[in-house]
Structure 1
């Protein structure tokens, strides 16, 4: 499996920089934690971005920057920012190209690929930027089976602790 992370640039409705790219993160940030959301209307996604915001300091204490990626146009993502005032990047992936590049799960085959509401499932991808040379590496993925299937913030923080301690690549499918 190729674990090299895809570089991308997306519009950012929240914390700088805008546009956002992994390469623009501070060198002190070892991990980028990408939260691929289902869509603008997903209640569980909205709860997750707020839970991450409540614990953003715990992520940053571990040298990690949370980043939410929503497969929607910028104006819809800006509505989330206006409502939740998130202190971390909130990206608009209007055509879901970045979600697709990171293999965000889509259910119901062709029908699911046409309608994010029916098919796109949440996913979490952790990138390790500590290699210094070259691109960041995908070191953890959690691919959900439903909008309810997500690791808790405490589980993610423990995963970051484990990754920092041993650097092993892990993958979990819900």
Structure 2
């Protein structure tokens, strides 16, 4: 497992398929701030809540100079369904082999009901216009996370 990213680190580059099967790279967002958030599973209640919070604040995030990318270990077909169900208007990327999640330290040991296993750690990394980490948050909660992120980015005044 990679070490957790910290502000100032160069954000690991990636190219993954989006919900439409099209290649999307972090380099596509160079020159803009990009919120890269990792979520465990499409079409689950917590992940839907978080995605809808991003959807509902997307216009104001973009107006403040931030794009949003969601990444999960789901196959493209699951992302297509999730994007349609929740009317999501930002890229959802498929990281089935969790290589990108590994590079961002968003894949690791989890515990649930006394069981330990490897899985996706709900995380958000803000990448600045130069491709460096501006903010790294790990083990975030699905509910209320977008509001907290907006406060941390000083977007709500």
- TM-score, reference length from structure 1: 0.73
**Superposed counterparts of 1:1-174, under 5 Å:** 3-13=9-19, 18-25=22-29, 27=31, 29=32, 31-108=33-110, 112-113=117-118, 119-129=119-129, 131=130, 136-144=131-139, 148=141, 152-161=145-154
Listed as ranges, the gaps of 5+ residues in structure 2 are 1-5
Pair 1:157–1:74, CA change in 2 (3 A) = same
Partners in 2 of 1:55 and 1:108 — Cα distance? 29
Q: What RMSD in Å do the two structures reach over aligned CA positions?
A: 2.5
Higher relative contact order (CA 8 A, sep 6+): 2
Q: Does the 8 A contact of 1:11 with 1:19 survive in 2? A: yes
Over 6 Å off, 4+ runs: none
Q: Which has the higher strand share?
A: 2
Listed as ranges, the gaps of 5+ residues in structure 1 are 114-118, 163-174
Deviation readout 1:17-48 (Å, 9 max, x if unpaired): 93111211263x2x110110012353211111
- TM-score, reference length from structure 2: 0.80
Q: Which has the higher helix share?
A: 1
